[in-house]
Structure formats: structure tokens, C-alpha cells
Amino acid sequence: MLLLLYVFVLAIGGALFVARSGHLLGLIDRPNQRSSHQRPTPKGGGIGILAGFVLAAWALDFPLAFFLPPTLLSIISLYGDKIDLSFKLRLVLQFALAGWFLWAIFPLGEPQPILTYALCGAVMVFIVGSANFYNFMDGINGLAGLTGLAAFGMLAWFCYLEGRAQPLIWFNLSMAVACLGFLPLNLYQAKVFMGDVASVLLGFVFAGMVVKLAQDLTEFVVLASFLFPFYTDELTSMIRRIRRGENLAKAHRSHLYQVLCNEGKREHHSVSMIFFILQLMIGMVALEIKPFGLVPLLLFLGMSFVLWAYLAGQTKKRLLD
């Protein structure tokens, strides 16, 4: 329990520090065509989440090679908060660090998951894709923090239910608490933004935990569903943009959460809470379906995806077209 307190203090302390000193550090997010905010706001407040991640991994005696790759990625992303790094360079670094991370996550005292050498490439794409999806979805107050709270909280609950190693339970709880510690300065009238330093970290570590914990394909799908709203909003937005012939590398504001806030004039925190509740509902239902096997699980998630895509499409058609 003391570990969780320390992690919470680091998270809120890091957010406070950047909120007060971001302008001196050159960490200011100025509104642009992709933004959903109207005034310059300090960014990089998720540095406290990074500190909490490092503390938890160290205190729980995880190997250095487990937390060094995500830490390096987070620091590189913090540097990217100050200057623009080319997307290609970011991808190269992310794939290299994902490979290192995969090599490191297996000596943690758990049975080997579904990973094989033949799947390494696909798993690396999953980890890097999750890191970038999380980053792309960090666009309104409270969304990234609430999503991390729910995702890592459900990972911890899964570990508890399945009798996994205690360090894995406490680690995922620590990540959830780190997100909770960031929220007071971000959920309502944000005084600071999370920034790439934590959004990329959270997506990367979440995906790594999914790979580590999944002992078969059914468990992999269940665990990945804990981030269902992020994956679904990003994928449906990409499909829509491809169909419209848009450049995927170009900044945009066509995610469902952005459309609801910008064109729909919904409060940021209310949209974030809706996503949070849906995330918890879908994740917990997926856990309940797990004993019945992969087919019912895929049917549930597939129908949820189709329903999301339809409702999102109708909303965007009404507000954008």
C-alpha cells in the first residue's frame, strides 16, 4: 500500500511541477488545427506517471531490461514534446525498444504466454500500434488518465482473479494509481496536459502487459478489450479517412471524442467519463464471457465494434458533413 501512496504523490507532484514550470521548460501546447483546447497549456505533466512507473518496477524487483526500454521511449517522447521528431524516426526507435522490451518481459515468474518467434513481428506491431493509438487519443481533458485508470485497474483485477504473481498485481495497480494521481490537474479545466511522455508510455506498457499475461488467444483478446474504446475510435477514424482519401499522416480532429467536444459542444470531462464507463462495461463483460471461449467473445466484441462504428458514423455525418 505504501508503494501506491508514493506513486500517487509522484504522479500529482509531476503534474503540479509542469503546470507551474512548463513555460520555463518550453513545454507549452499551443492550439492548432488538431487541438480541442483554446489556450496555450503546459504539456508533459505525465512525467510523474513515468516516475511512478520506474518506482513501481524498481520496488517490485523487475529486471532493469523490463523498465529501461519504456523509460527511454518516454524520455524520447518528452524530447518530442519540445521539438518535432520525424514520424519515421519515432517508429524506428519504437520498434527497436519494443523488441528489447519483449526480450525482457518473460523472466517475471509467470508461465510463458502465447508469444513465439513466428509472432514476434505481429506482437511488436501490436505494442508500437498501441503506444501510438494511445498518443493519438490523448486529445481532451481526462481521457488518457481515466483510460489508464480503467485499463490497468482491470489488468490488476485479471491478475488477481487468475492467481498471477503478486508483483504483477501491484505493478498494474501502481500504473492505475499513477493515472489517478494525474487526473486532479487534468480532468476539469486542465491546468496541464499529459503529453507524449506518458501517453506513449501507457500504451506501450499496457500492450506489453497484455502480451506478458495472455497464455492463449482468448486471454489475449480479453486483455486487449480493456482498451476497446481507444482501439475502436482510432480504427474507425482511420477507416473513414482512408475511404475519403485523406492523408493519414496529416493532423485531424475526426475522432469521435473530438467531434463530440468540438462540433457537438460537449464538455470534455463528460465525454471522457462516457468513454471511461463504456471501457469498464466492455472490459468486465469480456471477462465474464471468457469462460465460454473465443467464439462468443469475438461475437460480442465484433458486435460492439459494428455498433460503435455505426453510431460514430452517424454522429460524424450529422456534425461534420
pLDDT on residue 109 = 47
C-alpha distances out from residue 71 to 47, 61, 76, 218, 220, Å: 10, 16, 9, 30, 24
Q: Rounded to the nearest 5°, which phi and psi values hold at 42?
A: -60, 140
Amino acid (one-letter) located at 251: A
pLDDT on residue 198 = 95
Which residue reads 525482457 in cell numbers? 104
Amino acid (one-letter) located at 262: N
Give 98-103's long-range contacts (Cβ < 8 A, gap of 24+): 98/69, 98/124, 98/127, 98/128, 98/204, 99/124, 100/65, 100/68, 100/69, 101/65, 101/66, 101/69, 101/70, 101/127, 101/204, 101/208, 102/127, 102/208, 102/211, 103/65
Q: How far is CA 153 from the centre of its chain?
A: 13
Residues in contact with 16: Cβ distance below 8 Å, sequence separation at least 6, in sequence order = 185, 192
pLDDT on residue 35 = 60
Annotated binding site: 135, 196
pLDDT on residue 290 = 97
pLDDT on residue 117 = 59
What is the chain's length?
Answer: 321
pLDDT on residue 300 = 98
E strand or H helix that includes residue 310: helix 294-319
Q: How far is CA 310 from the centre of its chain?
A: 24
Nearest to 133 by CA among 211, 236, 35, 247: 236
pLDDT (tens, 9 = 90+) of the chain, 321 residues, equals: 799 999 999 999 999 999 999 888 888 877 766 666 667 889 989 999 999 999 999 999 998 888 899 999 999 988 876 666 777 888 899 999 998 888 777 654 444 455 555 677 888 999 999 999 999 888 889 999 999 999 999 999 999 999 999 999 999 999 999 999 999 999 888 899 999 999 999 999 999 999 999 999 999 999 999 999 999 999 999 999 888 888 776 777 888 999 999 888 889 989 999 999 999 999 999 999 999 999 999 999 999 999 999 999 999 889 886
Q: What is the CB neighbour count within 10 angstroms for residue 92?
A: 11
pLDDT on residue 36 = 63
Annotated binding site for Mg(2+): 135, 196
Domain coordinates in residue numbering, the chain: 2-225
